[in-house]
Each structure stands twice: as C-alpha cells, then as structure tokens.
Amino acid sequence: ERPRAWWQDAVFYQVYPRSFMDSDGDGIGDLGGILARLDHLQDLGVDALWLSPVYDSPNDDNGYDIRDYRAVMAEFGTMDDLDRLVHELHRRGMRLIMDLVVNHTSDEHAWFQQALADPASPYRDYYFFRPGEPDAPPNNWTSFFSGSAWRWFPERGEWALHLFSPRQMDLDWTHPPMREEIVEMVRWWLEKGVDGFRLDVINYISKPPALPDGDATVGALMEYTGVEHYFAGPRLHEHLRQLRAEAFEPYAAVSIGETPGVGARLGRLLTAPDRGELDMIFGFDHLDAPGRTRFEDYRYDLRHLRDAWTDWQREYGATCWPSLFLENHDNPRMISKIDPRPEHRAALGTLLLLLKLTLRGTPFLYQGQELGLVNHAFSSVAQLRDVESLNRYAALRELGRSDAEAFAEVLAGSRDHARVPMPWTSGPYGGFTDGTPWLMGDGDHEKWNAKDQAADPGSVLRACRDLIALRRAHPALTRGAIVFGPRRRGLWLYERRAEDETIGVAANLTDRPHRWRMPARARLLYATGAGDERRLVPYEARVYALEG
Ligand code: ISL
C-alpha cells in the first residue's frame, strides 16, 4: 500500500465561485467573496477547497469553457486575488485544488482561433477538424448538451468536434505538442502553490482516431450516442500516466478525475496506486437509481445508495481510495431527490453528511450541503441560466413537447438547483450580493441560511461541524478498515476498525421508525435524532465506539 497521503485524511469542500459570495455588487460571486468567507470554512473544519473553474472564459458553460488557462476570469477578480487565496488558505492550514478542464477549450481560446484563421496553423492538430458537407456531420455522435457533437465552420468548410456545447471544442490528445502544452500549464499552476486538481471529464480525453459511429441502441439507453467509443478510450491510461509523471508527481499534487460512466472495475484501474494514474475518481453510479436518469422525477431510495456504495467499497478493497460525494454543481440537491417533505429535511440532510463523514474514503462537501439546501422552486424556464437546461428545453420543444412537459423534465435534473447563490443571512438575496444575483433564489433563505444555523444548536450546519470534529477525533473513521454488517431491510450497518478502536455506525435509511439493537459494550458517540438503544427515528443515524 502507498504511504498515507494528506488527502486521505482531508475533508474537501467544493466552491462554485459564481454562486458562493459576491464582494463587489455585480451579482456574481468572486474571489474576494471567497476570501471574505474563509472563516465559515474554517469553522466548519474542512481541510481543502476545490474551486470550480476561475480561468478567463466567455462563460458559455460558466467557466468550463476556458479561453486562457493562465488568466483569471475578470468577473471573479485578478491573479493577485487568486495568489492571496492560496496564501490565506495555506496560512490557515488548508489547501486549494483547481479545476482542470482539458478535454476541451472555449472556441475563443487562442489555439482554436488561430486554427480557424489559418489553414497552415500548427494549432489545427490540437482539435478535431474534419472536412465534409454542411448537412452531413462526420459521425453520429451527440453532444451532452443536445444535438450533434459536430459544429460546422462555413469559413473553413469543416466540422469540429464538441462533446459539450458548440462553444467547447474537443482537444485532440493524440497530438504530442498539445499534451506538452497542457503539462507545462499544469506545472505553471503547481509552481504557484496550488495543491492539486480535479480533472474535468478526464476519462473522455482519448478518442479512437477513426471516430467511428456510435451504436444507436447504446445511445438510446444512455442518451448520448458515441459514448462507448470515448468513455474509456484507447490511450486513456497512457495519457493519464504522462500527466502524472510529468506534472503531478514532481509536485506531490493530488489528482481527482471526474469520470462519468466509469464503474468500480475501471475505477480500480484508474486509481490503483501502483499504476500511476489518478489518486481518486468521481464516479456517478450512485447518484441515480438503477435504470433512472437525472432528468426523471422519481424518489431515490437510500437503500440504493447503500447497495451502490457497498459494492464500490468492496471492489476497491484496501488498495484504492474512494471519493465520497453526493452533490456537486451538476446535480440537483440530494435531499429533494430522496424525500422532499419539509419535516424530514434537517434529519435527512444530517444523515447524508454523517454517511459521507464515516465511510471509508475522502468526503467532498458541495457548498450548501452543510446547510441542508434543497432544490429551488423555479416556476418557468426564463429563470434558468444553465446551457444544458436551456438546450434541453429547446430540444424537447422541437420534439413537440408542451412547455409544461419540457419544463417539468428539465426541472427534475437542472444543474441550476445547485447553482443558486449561497444563503448567508435572512436578508435580501441571502446576503450573497448587494446587487442583483445572476441566478435568482426562491426565498427559502429566509429560514435556511448560514447565520441563523450557526446560532442554532439543532441545525444541519452545527451537526456538520460536530461530525467533521468527530471524524478528526477518531482516527478509525479515516484510517480504519470498513466492515459491513448484515443487510437488514432499511438499515445500514457498518464498522470502521483500526488497531486501537472500532467505531460502529447504524443508519435508518427510511422515513419510518426502525428497530435495531445497540451492541453490548458500545458507547454512544453521536446521534442525529431522538431514538434510543432499540429504535431509530426516521432517517436517524447513530455512531458508537465498541469497547473491549
Ligand atoms: O451533464 C452531464 C450529462 O448530462 C454529465 O454527465 C456531465 O457530462 C459530466 O458531469 C461532466 O461535467 C463536467 O464537464 C462539463 C461541465 O459542463 C460540467 O459542469 C463539469 O462538471 C463540461 O466541461
């Protein structure tokens, strides 16, 4: 096994900068806002921040379309602000990881602009340009944001590939000079003192050079035609090893791959320490029930989480290290998906935090999860801002769906639920901005905000702080092996076993009281609800130390 690394003991917190805190009144969160809220993060007890992209970008996909990898988005501040953030975090004993988006660049990136302007440009090989006719794209691949994955450039009489929006052009990783530039750029950031990266859709970077048609039946099932050709492409492992050897390893930087569609088996290949690829990955299998997709409105049964995560933890064994996350900026709030009834909100929010903070792996909190935030009550498509939601709505309308039908489908999965600005106070716009927020909330902040929860010992925020402290106080929760108890109806039972200590967890995954029995010689360390030694109330979890 590898020597223990800092990130295995760390709790991460994802900041979506546009929606975290606005310091200059333009309605858009910024680096100054993050700097002003570092106390919140420190009080919470988190060890590291993951910043969604803050690079210069025309914001077709809120920064996931990068125009300049070495500049800071003007709306977010300056490079000085970013340097200050690194400094301030390090001063507090915290770390910073950035988002690395290298499957694609913005169409406004200088590489792409030069490739367009000059047929002899060396940058042509950085992208997938293909000749053709305006009505016949080179293959049948579809974009994750609706329609064909090919954009026609009349000025060139060529197509170019984009798996995401038509303004996010895919990079061709078979081309060595392009890879060199990426390595140089990553090293440049690491020289600045950044501690690592989350790698955006990194499993999509290797495409088979022939770009074969996708199987339409696979496409129908997964909604995205062509994905079987690139979700684990021919040179994926090789490219990851180059990145690690030439960029991450010399700086001891942590690497977390965002890898949609990757199951536990492939996850092991990507994260086994002796293979030299990634430290951790984000798989998404557990975020929806089997056979369901994000755009379906259904109730997610927590027993599915138990089954999915148990499988991952078993498959990973003692060798690989799991990431533990339930939300991010691309997914609706989990509480809403499981049980939207307000009377269960706090209990459920606390239970989800407890599970993440007691299982084996590195927990990632997404902003607002520490407050038990839920989906927003958007009432029309005009309130949405996300390119995926807007494109999907338009595509559904074109297919003949009514406004109500199209809106309902988009609403079930919209990424904007998680992107509504953070509620800091009960004041106007939750104290997020003195101006007008770029994306409007629905008034929920009057009751659910950081300030009021900090003062309320029964709040989700206070529970979150306590649970992070509990994790820190009991090394078995970070270093212990995980042993699962018998699968019993709506219960999730597991233990974390270290040499000198065993910690047990019992969680009621249902909305009804559940019988259980606290083991003999167990000392209660934490309870999220008002149950007792024989009964857990709905969504209650208990943590105990086993003595002897
Ligand atoms: O949104 C999806 C499909 O509808 C996801 O599978 C998505 O492809 C995946 O989560 C990738 O997300 C990442 O890359 C995107 C960006 O829009 C997301 O915000 C980012 O997290 C393109 O850069």
3-state secondary structure 456-515: CCCCHHHHHHHHHHHHHHCCHHHHCEEEECCCECCEEEEEEECCCCEEEEEEECCCCCEE
Give the pLDDT score at 483.
97
Q: Residue holding tokens 């709030």? A: 333
By three-state DSSP, how is residue 523 classified? strand
Task: Take atom 20 of ligand 1 and give the residue whose Cα is closest.
Answer: 200
Q: Are 289 and 242 in contact (CB under 8 A)?
A: no
378 ligand 1 Cβ < 6 A:
no
| Any atom of ligand 1 within 6 Å of the Cβ of 416 | no
Q: Which atom of ligand 1 is nearest to the CA of 261?
A: 6
**Is 110-169 in the same CATH topology as 6-108+170-467?**
no
Per-residue model confidence as pLDDT tens for the chain (548 residues): 568 999 999 999 999 999 999 999 999 999 999 999 999 999 999 999 999 999 999 999 999 999 999 999 999 999 999 999 999 999 999 999 999 999 999 999 999 999 999 999 999 999 999 999 999 999 999 999 999 999 999 999 999 999 999 999 999 999 999 999 999 999 999 999 999 999 999 999 999 999 999 998 775 544 689 999 999 999 999 999 999 999 999 999 999 999 999 999 999 999 999 999 999 999 999 999 998 999 999 999 999 999 999 999 999 999 999 999 999 999 999 999 999 999 999 999 999 999 999 999 999 999 999 999 999 999 999 999 999 999 999 999 999 999 999 999 999 999 999 999 999 999 999 999 999 999 998 999 999 999 999 999 999 999 999 999 999 999 999 999 999 999 889 999 999 999 999 999 999 999 999 999 999 999 999 999 999 999 999 999 999 999 86
Q: 200 in ligand 1 pocket by Cβ < 6 Å?
A: yes
Kindly list the domain boundaries of the chain, sorted by start residue.
6-108+170-467, 110-169, 478-546
Per CATH, the homologous superfamily of domain 6-108+170-467 is: Glycosidases (3.20.20.80)
What is the pLDDT at residue 441?
Answer: 87
List the CATH code of the domain at 110-169.
3.90.400.10
Cα–Cα dist 203/534, whole Å:
46
Task: Indicate the length of the chain as a whole number.
Answer: 548
pLDDT of residue 496: 98
- Ligand 1 mean position, distance from CA 469 (Å): 32
Q: Give the pLDDT score at 1.
A: 58
Residues 355, 362: Cα–Cα separation, whole Å? 12
Q: Is 164 in the pocket of ligand 1 (CB under 6 A)?
A: yes
Strand spans (E) along 10-123: 12-15, 48-51, 55-56, 68-72, 95-100, 104-106
* The overall pTM is greater than 0.95: yes
Ligand 1 atom 23 nearest Cα: 64
> Which residues does 26 contact at the CB level (< 8 Å), separation at least 6?
75, 433, 435
- ipTM here: 0.95
DSSP, collapsed to helix, strand or coil, labels residue 4 as coil
Pocket test for ligand 1, best of 169, 262, 293, 330 (most atoms within 8 A of CB): 330
Identify the three-state secondary structure at position 197: strand
61 Cβ inside 6 Å of ligand 1: yes
Which one of 60, 170, 200, 279 is the catalytic residue? 200
Of 3.30.70.1520, 1.10.540.10, 1.10.3720.10, 2.60.40.1180, the CATH number of 478-546 is 2.60.40.1180
**Catalytic annotation on 258?**
yes
Per-residue pLDDT, 221: 46
Given a contact cutoff of 8 angstroms between Cβ atoms, the answer to whether 296 and 306 are in contact is no
Q: Which of 64, 38, 61 is nearest to 49 (CA)?
A: 38
Cα of 140 vs centre of ligand 1, distance in Å, is 20
**How many A from CA of 303 to the centre of ligand 1?**
26
Catalytic residue among 258, 339, 370, 495: 258
In whole angstroms, what is the distance from residue 387 CA to residue 106 CA?
Answer: 14
Distances (CA, A) of 76 to 106, 140, 217, 240, 416: 18, 38, 43, 30, 19
Find the 331 Cα to ligand 1 centroid distance in Å.
10
200 part of the active site: yes
Beta-carbon neighbour count of residue 184 at 10 Å?
13
Closest CA to 99 of 196, 237, 203: 196
Cα–Cα distance, 370 to 354 (Å, whole number): 11
